[in-house]
Chains A and B, each alone.
Chain A
């Protein structure tokens, strides 16, 4: 079983729709959860971090965490073509510790 699992996609959504990206993790000791966006040939860019169960909203992005189900998701509202990228889920066991990444979900926002 992979430590952090994501559907590789591609996930295709029309412009203006909601994109829903999902991630599950195996280590119940995980405390910190992150979503990074990576454009092809570029470095990962932090989008959201979440530490507590529930929802966290930042602009068009909402991260959702359910520690009991070991599940974290990212919703992107009003999807734009510029959102087309690979979205990486990452978890860590706490402050100053390594990130364990999923393999990423490729999102395509179509016109």
Chain B
């Protein structure tokens, strides 16, 4: 059973460009969570989604960030007009009906 998949693993963008991060949950999991880990800091919750619905976006910055989990395909975290402060590791986690979350390998975003 494949684990949580994320791509790309590393992403380099210049300031002002867009970043798209993708997450495919574990088979059978319908809950997807995105977390951000800034250098030397802890993991911070960003958003929780189920298929076609955003359940909790209390951790999402108000501007430039959006997330979706369409009926078909992976969940996508989109960052518009990236700035240097967006450089971080972005982790996706998935769960089924329980609250145990399993993490993907992460996408490491570097903004030049």
Contact = CB atoms under 8 A, between A and B. Distances in A.
Interface in A12-69: 32, 34, 36, 42-46, 49
A36 B45 CA distance: 15
Contacts of A104: 42
Contacts of A42: 105-106
A95 B98 contact: yes
A100 B103 contact: no
B69 interface: no
Interface residues of B, number: 26
A57 B6 CA distance: 31
A102 B101 CA distance: 16
A111 interface: no
Interface in A71-111: 88, 90, 92, 94-104
A101 B31 contact: no
Interface residues of A, number: 23
B97 A100 contact: no
Contact of A44 (B59, B95, B98, B103): B103
A98 B91 contact: no
Contact of B31 (A34, A96, A102, A103): A96
Contacts of B56: 97-98
Contacts of B55: 96
A96 B106 contact: no
B104 interface: yes
A36 B42 CA distance: 12
B39 to A, nearest CB: 11
B54 interface: no
Given A101-B43, A104-B42, A46 B105 contact: no
Interface in B33-66: 33, 35, 41-45, 48, 55-56, 58-59
A102 B42 contact: yes
Given A95-B97, A96-B31, A98-B59, A45 B41 contact: no
Interface of A: 32, 34, 36, 42-46, 49, 88, 90, 92, 94-104
Interface of B: 31, 33, 35, 41-45, 48, 55-56, 58-59, 91, 93, 95, 97-106
